[in-house]
Amino acid sequence: MNPKAESIISLLNQVTLERRRREVVPGLHAAVLTVKRYQQRRFMHTYADLLTTKRFGAATRFFLDELYGPRDFSQRDAQFVRVVPTLVRLFPSEIVHTVDMLARLHAVSESLDTEMGSRVQTDPITRLSYKDAWQSTGRRADRDLQIGLTVEIGAALDRYTRQRVLRHTLKLMRGPAKAAGLGELQRFLESGFDTFREMNGAQDFLDMVITRERALAKALFEARGSAENVGSGNAPDAGSRYFDLLPPDEP
């Protein structure tokens, strides 16, 4: 089998194992969904200024819906594993490489979300309980990988918008992709192409994403105080840096 196909299948199998792990631990699946919903709220909070702009709004929404949302991709992934060899054969190598990055991002994100779900202590999640779960999960290298892959995928989509032959090839793939069970991947790629093309250059957007995501990760890892110590004088006050980077607590 093609090495890229083997890599993608292996990564998707890791995602499947994460989902099975959640199913056998009471309450873990629900906790992970709560984490995912909170993280989507966090992304909306972090990029609220970009969501309303003409140039960056669509790209921000694309990241929010496609990379940060709480959608259940289990059925799609199960179908996808079966047709990965076809994907590698049909699509240009540049697209296959991007799919491999997507699978890597999917795998590391699902693993981190499982850990977060197992450690978060409140429902609804608060700024303090999210910070506590983040710190007890740790895995700084995986957090940095998660950020790096997100930006790399955006950079790849941006590069592809300047390759007319590749864009034309992707359009020609609509019929074969749908017939091969790759319609959802085709939709993602075309949506990404169109969204990034509208920006007329994505570097400014990607620079803001990597700067803000790294600033949030750094602030969360370095924040002091615990959700268990609220009111004791040991919890961070409202001026703590990470408080401003997370959405307000729900009433």
Please list the rounded mean pLDDT of every run of 10 residues in the chain (251 residues): 86 91 93 94 94 94 82 71 81 86 92 96 92 96 96 91 80 80 80 87 94 94 67 46 82 76
pLDDT at 208: 95
Residue 249 lies in a domain: no
pLDDT at 238: 40
Residue 195 lies in a domain: yes
Residue 7 lies in a domain: yes
pLDDT at 107: 93
Q: How many domains does the chain have?
A: 1
Residue 165 lies in a domain: yes
Residue 242 lies in a domain: no
Burial (CB < 10 A; 0-12, 13-18, 19+), residue 35, is buried
- Cα 230 to Cα 126, 129, 227, 245: the distances in Å are 12, 11, 6, 19
The reported pTM is: 0.87
pLDDT at 231: 40
* Residues spanned by the domain of 219: 3-223
Residue 251 lies in a domain: no
Residue 65 lies in a domain: yes
Residue 111 lies in a domain: yes
CA distance 102 to 5: 13
pLDDT at 144: 97
